[in-house]
Chain A
Amino acid sequence: MAERLPPRTGEVIDREEELRFQFDGEDYLAFSGDTIASALAATGVRVFSRSFKYHRPRGLLCCAGHCPNCLVQVGEEPNVRACRRRVEAGMRVEPQNVTPTLKRDWLAPVMRALSPFMSVGFYYKTLYRPSWVWKLGEPLLRAATGLGKVSVPKIPSEGFDKQYLRGDVVVVGAGPAGMSATLSAAGQGASVLLLDENGQLGGHLRTTGDTQQRLPSLLEKVRAAGNIRVFTETTVTGWFDHSWLAAVRGHRLYKIRAGAVVLASGALERPLLFENNDLPGVMLGSAAQRLLRLHSVKPGQRAVVMTANDDGWEVAADLRAAGVEVVAMADERERAASSSARVDALSADVPVFWRHTVAAAHGGSAVQAATIVPLDGDGDTQAPRHRQDCDLLLVSVGWTPNTGLAYQAGVRFGFDEKRAELTARDMPENFAIAGRAAGTHLLEHELAEGALAGRSMAAAAGRGDAPAAAQWTQVQEEKAAEPARSAPWVSVAGAGKRFLCYCEDVTEKDLYTAVAEGYDSIELLKRYSTISMGPCQGKMCSMNAVHLCARANAASVDETGSTKSRPPLQPISLGALAGQNMEPVRVTPVHDWHLERGAKMMVAGLWLRPERYGDPAGEVRAVRERVGVIDVSTLGKYKLTGPSVPDILEKIYINRWRKLAVGRVRYGAMCNTEGIVMDDGVTARVGEQEWYMTTTSGGAGSVNEWMQWWMQSGWGEGVQLLNRTDDFAAVNLAGPQARALLQKLTGLQLGNDQFPYMHARSGAVAGVPCRLLRIGFTGELSYELHCPSSYGRHLWERLLAAGEQFGILPFGVEAQRVLRLEKGHLIIGQDTDALSNPIAAELSWAVKLDKEDFLGQRSLIRVTERGVRQRLVGFTVPGVSVAPEEGLQIVALGSNGKRPEIIGWVSSCRFSPTLNEVIGLCWLPSEIAETDGAEFNIWRDERPLAARVHHGAVYDPEGARLRS
């Protein structure tokens, strides 16, 4: 740790605890509290990564977790910012995008040679003709460029979570303005959340000026207040409607509801454009101060400081205090423009170049010299040029307020040309900006503005009174009188690579080329050149890009505008967004029994249902020949009461209900307003004013919402609708022996005369109060038993026990699908889609267009007038035993080698063990569907497969067994 300074006040490292870690295959030592970057810098490491496109060496630039230069791979985790991540013992850190090593990257000279041919968007222009060029070029481009490596099998699937937070006032940024806002809001009685992306509170109070003057008392007050919650290492990544903030801390995503927001996120130091401005050793002034003050690391030995404001002079003073030799200062301003108290002392023994700028950095893998040139009025260069040897070139020329979150909250910014600052307007009532994020730089002003913002936002959240408008005016006036921190934007002409965007290696020349090619609006420029689309999300390049674009178009910065800021402001791992894997499932009261019997379960909507217990064909045969039982507790179940139930049923269903007698059951189908089938099921009239409705398992929720909508907007008078889906278990007992079995468990009269087909009864079965519906989806004599959920398993087990002598089998969804297909019954959603009307879907028998009014009626009238082009119809596939897959297309074979034309599709298909034949339902053009026995072709495995239209059920078409 050769570059480590002696212990200093304010450092965040613990020198008592040494940690060993690896970087690029070599061992390094760090102190506890070191970041990966500070530990490496303390050992003299200059090169941290290779750049995205040209594989140029890159070193520390911002040291604030914003720029892409220190992105590293930590174990399996890619794109970790080395300047933010604290070292842990045994950490394995690797550089990214190196071919093959950081020190010797053979792609760097190749890319240097190729770079004249790789201007902005070159692949759009070259790699498209002939078409195979892209196939060849894309893998090469992908291999040569990029960031970290994601190892898919090793992606952690656990350890991510989410937390929901709420605060009257949420303060983003814990610098002086943020802490001041926090204290003032908390003083008004507001609950405050204070979030900061750094490991410690304090912001620039820790890295600039006299750190001990204000910081300790602010920290103590924040700590002492009871209504402040502090979150460090927490990055706010987005503002969403109604002050909903997203923030990330490690593997945790915070979702925060803010009453009001104070944005005190500080300012980002702006890089300067000059030749080789990306060389390791070229660093922002604030980055050097962070290394010095937080981690006691010397950023270099001999420094040139390039500045355009008084902050650069502070940087130079800090360097000298730490024993770094300042070999030259260059300031874009006239000496008279500086009000820094440091000027005299520094000028005494450092050569100072007023009205100069840096035109170039020189060196191989790190900076060795800088060329300093004078500026004329327009920022062009003139002789003489000064070449100054150095190993550190610090840039402090201006600040860009870190206001992405404000953009997202609807704040708009103008540009004050005189002060070269952004000015906010259209501020929402519950949003405030304070401190450097608002262009306020003097500490006393920051504290005053923060306090005002905190109080205002507490008031906006209903805590205390807002400050008088005059106080705001005073703060604004004081701020306006501060010396400017950002010089007018200059860029001296020069050769070589002048990087605008470090993330994606976009140069100044690239940008001018893009504008010349017509991408002259800032949003187009962004998309074409990819500036601001990399890991820094524009934090380093946006402001410079806007200035460049303005200059190229001879427009003002205000006219040029800026690109829209969208969440996330910082890259965020998909794991943090996904959080824990918490997929809810619903299980029936008989679920455990199914598992005990080794049922293969399947997901059906939110439900888990038995797909099969053993061989589905055996289950089918049990139902056809003896008796079977299926758990249908997943059905939607509704109780409707009141005098007007028939009225609403008439409107909701396409068929008639008014005259249904008490004790009868009827099948019904529902349509939406467009006349598309939504759901079906059976409904029983169980009393003069009480009805019991069932829906499909999948449609239970949507039917409820649908009916509630119509009932709550005018059709609800005289009707009560109660969702009983979870209250009742339901089982379907089906097969020729169903009656004999059931009779063993109930005193109800089950004879065909006493309890005929499509009737409903109530009574005890196995001692359990049940509602019995005699219906037949399976095509056999069958009873559907609904009982309170808590009795569900008891009833199920008693039925199976009583059925033992009849050879009963439980059957699953697969067997049920075969059984219903043998009867030609459709399943809504399986055999129909969002374009299926009931007339085309073999339900025209149920459509009663002469009813007074029902949902879908008007649309169906038009359907009948125009006829239907496609119909759902049954089919058989003679001579095969393997059912074609559902979803296969049906084709009309073209003659003379023409491609087959798609004319329909298979919606359901199974092998029927009862008939020993493949059967199914499909959609066909009406003219084919109308003819029983008509032949058509299913397109399977690139070949036609002959199938035949079959009208009616293939099994028991008269329905005699249902009624037996």
Chain B
Amino acid sequence: MLILNCPNCGERNVSEFRNGGEYRPRPACPREKDDLQWAEYVYLRSNVSGVQKEWWYHRAGCGLWFLAERHTKTNEITATYRWRPAAASSEEERKADG
């Protein structure tokens, strides 16, 4: 069972958390996306073999949604942190925004 380091509560068993899937910032203006771009955001996941940035929710704890960087093959978790607005304008956001 994984141990996650909740930014509020510290290290807890993964059974206290819900996984929210890989981090995919929502495009700022969905209406401007064509069908293909939108379908890509809604349905496609990178499914990386390696370190993945993903959402976790501390369901049986403080109720925080936070981000974790987890290696999908070894389950090693290298970092956990709160979402920050700065993260939204990161490279991934620009990429997802096309």
Contacts and interface: CB of A to CB of B under 8 A. Distances in A.
Partners in one complex: yes
Contacts of B75: 241-242
Interface residues of B, number: 27
Q: List 6 A-B pairs, minimum CB-CB distance, nearest first.
A: A858-B30, A244-B1, A712-B65, A241-B75, A242-B3, A713-B83
A871 B15 CA distance: 39
A859 interface: yes
Contacts of A957: none
Contacts of B30: 853, 857-858
A327 B33 CA distance: 87
Interface in B52-81: 55, 57, 59, 63-65, 74-75
Contact of A859 (B13, B20, B38): B38
A673 B26 contact: yes
B65 A708 contact: yes
B33 A858 contact: yes
A708 B57 contact: yes
Interface string B16-28: 0010100000100
Contacts of A128: none
B95 interface: no
Contacts of A853: 29-31
B38 A862 contact: yes
A410 B71 CA distance: 14
A861 B39 CA distance: 13
A714 interface: yes
Contact of B31 (A242, A673, A858): A858
A478 interface: no
Contacts, number: 52
B91 interface: no
Nearest to B55: A709
Contact of A241 (B2, B33, B35): B2
Contacts of B35: 862
B83 to A, nearest CB: 5
Contacts of A858: 30-31, 33, 38
B42 A859 contact: yes
B41 to A, nearest CB: 8
A713 B65 contact: yes
B98 interface: no
A861 B29 CA distance: 14
A709 B65 contact: yes
B85 interface: yes
Given A410-B74, A853-B31, A857-B31, A674 B1 contact: no
Given A708-B65, A713-B65, A858-B38, A242 B1 contact: yes
Given A709-B20, A712-B65, A859-B38, A240 B31 contact: no
A853 B2 CA distance: 37
Contacts of A244: 1
Secondary structure at chain B's binding surface: helix, strand, loop or mixed?
A: mixed
A765 to B, nearest CB: 32
20 contacts: A242-B2, A242-B75, A255-B1, A257-B1, A257-B3, A257-B13, A410-B74, A673-B26, A673-B41, A673-B42, A705-B18, A708-B65, A709-B55, A709-B65, A713-B65, A714-B85, A853-B29, A858-B38, A861-B31, A862-B38
Contact of A705 (B31, B43, B57, B83): B57
B88 interface: yes
Given A244-B1, A857-B31, A712 B38 contact: no
Interface string A209-253: 000000000000000000000000000000011101000000000
Given A673-B26, A705-B57, A712 B42 contact: no
Contact of A714 (B38, B57, B74, B88): B88
Given A240-B1, A241-B1, 12 more contacts: A242-B75, A255-B1, A257-B3, A705-B18, A708-B63, A709-B55, A712-B64, A713-B65, A714-B88, A859-B42, A861-B31, A862-B38
Nearest to A673: B42
A714 B1 CA distance: 31
A240 B13 CA distance: 12
B77 to A, nearest CB: 8
A393 to B, nearest CB: 46
Interface string A691-720: 000000000000001001100111000000
A712 B81 CA distance: 12
A674 B42 contact: yes
Nearest to A246: B1
B14 to A, nearest CB: 8
Contacts of A410: 74
Contacts of B57: 705, 708-709
Nearest to A852: B31
A299 to B, nearest CB: 43
A257 B41 CA distance: 38
B46 to A, nearest CB: 17
Nearest to A243: B3
Interface string A378-409: 00000000000000000000000000000000
Given A242-B2, A410-B74, A705 B38 contact: no
A714 B57 CA distance: 15
A499 B88 CA distance: 63
B88 A705 contact: no
Interface string A841-859: 0000000000001000111
A244 B11 CA distance: 14
A870 B88 CA distance: 38
Contacts of A859: 38, 42
A859 B29 CA distance: 13
Given A242-B75, A673-B42, A859-B38, A705 B85 contact: no
Contacts of A241: 1-2, 75
Interface in A146-183: none
Contacts of B2: 241-242
Contacts of A255: 1
Contacts of A708: 57, 63, 65
> Which of B2, B29, B42: most chain A CB closer than 10 A?
B42
A241 B2 CA distance: 6
Nearest to B66: A712
B61 to A, nearest CB: 12
> Which of A708, A712, A853: most chain B CB closer than 10 A?
A712
Nearest to A428: B74
A257 B1 CA distance: 9
A861 B55 CA distance: 28
Contacts of B13: 257
Contacts of B26: 673
Nearest to A858: B30
A153 B97 CA distance: 60
A859 B42 CA distance: 9
B75 to A, nearest CB: 4
A346 to B, nearest CB: 51
> Which of B1, B3, B43, B83: most chain A CB closer than 10 A?
B1
Contacts of A240: 1
Nearest to A853: B30
A853 B27 CA distance: 11
Nearest to A672: B42
Contacts of B31: 853, 857-858, 861
